[in-house]
A and B are shown apart, each in its own frame.
Chain A
Amino acid sequence: MRLSKSAKSILGVITGLVLLFIYAPLLLVVVNSFNSDKTFGWPPKGFTLEWWGRAFESEGVRSALVTSLWVAVVSTIISLVLGTLLALALQRYRFFGREAVNLLVILPIALPGIVTGIALNNMFTTILGVPLSMWTVVIAHATFCMVTVFNNVIARLRRVNSRLEEASADLGAGVFTTFRLVTFPQLRSALLAGGLLAFALSFDEIIVTTFTIGAGDTTLPIWILQNLFRPNQAPVVNVVAVVLIVVSIVPIYLAQRLSEDSVGVRRPAKVAA
C-alpha cells in the first residue's frame, strides 16, 4: 500500500511520540542513577558515581542480584529441556489430545501472574506441604518461561524439513543420534533465542515471585519493592532499576536478532574452486 507524504510524516510523528512516552521515563531512571541531587530535581545538578558505588557495596543488593541470576538460570535450563521436548512431541508426532496439550502448554503465559502466584502458593504450602524457597520460585517461573522456549522451538521445527530426520534414520542413526547430529544443530539458534527470552522473563518477574519465594530470600525486583519507599535508599533503587533494565533488554535484543536468522543457511564463507 502506498502512503502519501503527509500520511507518512503524521504516522512518523505519532510513532516518535509513542516511543518517547515509553522510553523517556526509562531514560530518566538511568540519568538519575548518576544524578548528584538526592531529590532528583530536573535538570540534574551534577554527575556522580556515588549511588553505583553504594549499590555494589550493599549486601542486600548483591545477594538479591545473585538470587535473581540463579533463579533465572535454573528456570531457563528447566524451560529449555521441557520446552524442547514438548515442541518435538507436538510438532513431529500425531497423538490423541495433541491440540489440548498444545493449548494447555501455552496457557500459563496468558494467565494473570497473581492467579498463578496464589495457585502455586496454595499448592506448595497447603497441598504439598513444601516450604517456600528459591526452588519453588524456579518451578513457578519455569511454568511460563517454558512457553517462550516452546514457541521458538516449535516455530523452528515447522520450518525444518522433517525429511532430514528421516534421512538420518535411513542412513542408520538411532533416535538420539539423530537428535544430536541433525535436529539439535537446526534448533540451536531457536534454543538460544527462547532461552534468552526465558531468562529475561524470569529475571524481572515480581508477582509470581512474591507468592512463591521463601521468607529469607530476595530477588532484585523484590528488593526494589521493599526499598522503594525508604527515602535514603531511593538513589540506590535507581541503580538497581538500571541493572534490571540492562539485564532484561540485552537478552531480548539478542533473541530477536537470533530468531531472524534463517534455518541452517549460512552465508557462503568462501566459494571454493
Chain B
Amino acid sequence: MSQTTLSGVRETTAEVPAIRLRNLTKTFGSKGFNETRAVDGVDLDIRQGEFFSMLGPSGSGKTTVLRLIAGFELPTSGTIELEGADVSGKAPFQRDVNTVFQDYALFPHMSLVDNVAYGLRVRGMKKAERRERAIESLERVQLGKFMQRRPSQLSGGQRQRVALARALVVEPKVLLLDEPLGALDLKLRQQMQIELKELQRSLGITFIFVTHDQEEALTMSDRIGVFNNGKLAQIGTAHEIYQRPTGAFVANFVGTSNLFGPDIAASLYQRGGQFVVRPERLTLDWTASTAKHDGAASLRGTVTSLVYVGHATQVRVALEGGPAVVVLVGSDLPDEASVVGKTVSVSWLDRDAVWLPDGN
C-alpha cells in the first residue's frame, strides 16, 4: 500500500490521517435565540494507529466531536474525513467507525453472544460463523464462559468489556470511546487503562478516547487534544501538554499549576506576560531565606494549609505580593499546628518557569 512518486518520495497510507477534521463546527438551538456553539472550528488530524485522547471539562465539546465522528450528529459546517474519504454527511451505519458508549448501551434483551454478534448479523453473516466470531471476541476479553448471560447479570467492568468486544468484532478503522471507564471504581479503572492500552497496541487500530480525567489521558495516550469552550486549546504528547502548556487553561486543567501574573514577571524577570510553575518544581525553604542563586528565583510567603496526599504533602503558601501557590513536599513535615502561619520562602529554577503566550 505504498507508491513511489517521480521525485522518489515514498508516500504511504500511514500519512493519510485516520481522521481529519477541518473547521468542524456544531451549534445547537436556533440561531440568535438560544444558540450554543458546542464545537467551534476544530481542525485536527488523528494519525493511523494512534491512541488519541480528547480531554476537557464537561461541556467543552469533546463528546460532541466524538458524536460527530460517529455520525450521531451532523456538523453545522466543516468536514470529517475518514482515511481520506469525506464522511461528513453519512449515516452512522455507513461509517467504518464504532463506538464504546459511556453507559455501554448493551442490548438488554439479548445474550452476550448475540450482543457481540449483532454487528455481524446486520452485515448478513451466517449464524454459525458470526457466533463463532463473537465467542472468540468474548474470549479475548475473558468473558467466554458468560456468553449466554444477559447484560443485566454482569458487573460494570464486565459490561464494559462486552461493549468493547461488540465494537471490535466488526473490525472498525477507528474505535471511539466515550468516557468508557467513568463508571468504574478506581482500582478497576486503573486495570482497564492498562488493558485498553495493550489492546490498542496489539490491534493497531486508531483509538479516540474521550475523558475528563487528566491522569487517565496522560497515562494512556500517544497524543492528547485539550478542549475548552468547543475549541482545541492544545494538541501534543502527554509530556508536551504537561511540561509546556501553551495557555493558562491547559496549565490549570492538566495537573495543578501555579500561575504567576505580569507583576511578578516584571519584578523578577523584567519582562511582560505570565508564567506557570508545577507544584513539584517548587522548593520550600523553612528558614525563609531568599538568598539569590544563579538561575533561580525565590519569594517569601506564609503557609496557609496542608493537604496530605499519601506520597507527599501539598503545602499552600500565600506569597507576599503574589499569588497563593501549591508546593509539593516529598519529605516529612513538622506537625501541622506548628507549620500553618509560618513564614517560609518558595523558590524555583528559572528553567522550570513555563511562559504562556500572550492573550491566553
Contact = CB atoms under 8 A, between A and B. Distances in A.
A163 B101 contact: yes
A265 interface: yes
Nearest to B119: A171
Interface residues of A, number: 25
Interface string A164-175: 101111111110
A166 B92 contact: yes
A266 B146 CA distance: 16
B107 A272 contact: no
Contacts of B153: 268, 271
A173 B94 CA distance: 9
A22 interface: no
5 contacts: A167-B105, A171-B166, A171-B170, A182-B107, A268-B149
B72 interface: yes
Given A170-B92, A172-B170, A174-B93, A186 B109 contact: yes
Interface in A140-172: 161, 163-164, 166-172
B122 A177 contact: yes
Contacts of B121: 181
A268 B99 contact: no
Contact of A169 (B93, B101, B106, B108): B93
Nearest to A171: B119
Contacts of A273: 145-146
Given A181-B118, A266-B150, A172 B123 contact: yes
Contact of B105 (A161, A177, A186, A266): A161
Residue in B92, B99, B150 whose Cβ sees the most chain A Cβ within 10 Å: B92
B13 interface: no
A16 interface: no
B105 A166 contact: yes
Contacts of A173: 93, 118, 122
Interface of A: 161, 163-164, 166-174, 177, 181-182, 185-186, 263-266, 268, 271-273
Contacts of B99: 166-167, 170
A170 B108 contact: no
B98 interface: yes
B142 to A, nearest CB: 12
A170 B93 contact: yes
Contacts of A263: 108
Contacts of B122: 168, 171-174, 177, 181
Interface string B86-112: 000001110001110101011111000
A169 B145 CA distance: 28
Contacts, number: 82
A185 B109 contact: yes
B58 interface: no
Contact of B118 (A163, A168, A265, A266): A168
A245 B103 CA distance: 46
Given A171-B166, A172-B122, A177-B122, A161 B91 contact: no
A173 B107 CA distance: 13
A263 B146 CA distance: 22
Contact of A170 (B98, B106, B109, B148): B98
A263 B109 CA distance: 9
A268 B122 CA distance: 27
Q: Which 7 pairs across A and B sit closest by C-beta, in order of nearness?
A: A264-B108, A171-B119, A163-B105, A167-B105, A169-B92, A173-B122, A185-B109
Nearest to A273: B145
B152 interface: yes
B148 A161 contact: no
Residue in B91, B97, B105 whose Cβ sees the most chain A Cβ within 10 Å: B105
Contacts of A268: 149-150, 152-153
Contacts of A177: 122
A166 B94 CA distance: 13
Contacts of B170: 171-172
Nearest to B123: A172
B182 to A, nearest CB: 14
A272 B148 contact: yes
Given A167-B107, A170-B71, A172-B170, 6 more contacts: A166-B72, A170-B97, A171-B122, A171-B166, A186-B109, A265-B108
A264 B109 contact: yes
Nearest to A263: B108
A271 B153 CA distance: 8
A271 B118 CA distance: 23
Contacts of B107: 164, 167-168, 182
Nearest to A160: B108
Interface in B136-165: 145-146, 148-150, 152-153
B87 to A, nearest CB: 13
B210 to A, nearest CB: 14
A161 B72 contact: no
B319 to A, nearest CB: 49
B70 interface: yes
Contacts of A171: 93, 98, 118-119, 122, 166-167, 170
Nearest to A177: B122
A273 B146 CA distance: 8
B66 to A, nearest CB: 11
A272 B145 contact: yes
A161 B103 contact: yes
Nearest to B124: A172
A272 B119 contact: no
A168 B92 CA distance: 9
B103 A169 contact: no
A245 to B, nearest CB: 35
A156 to B, nearest CB: 13
B201 to A, nearest CB: 24
Contacts of A167: 99, 101, 105-107
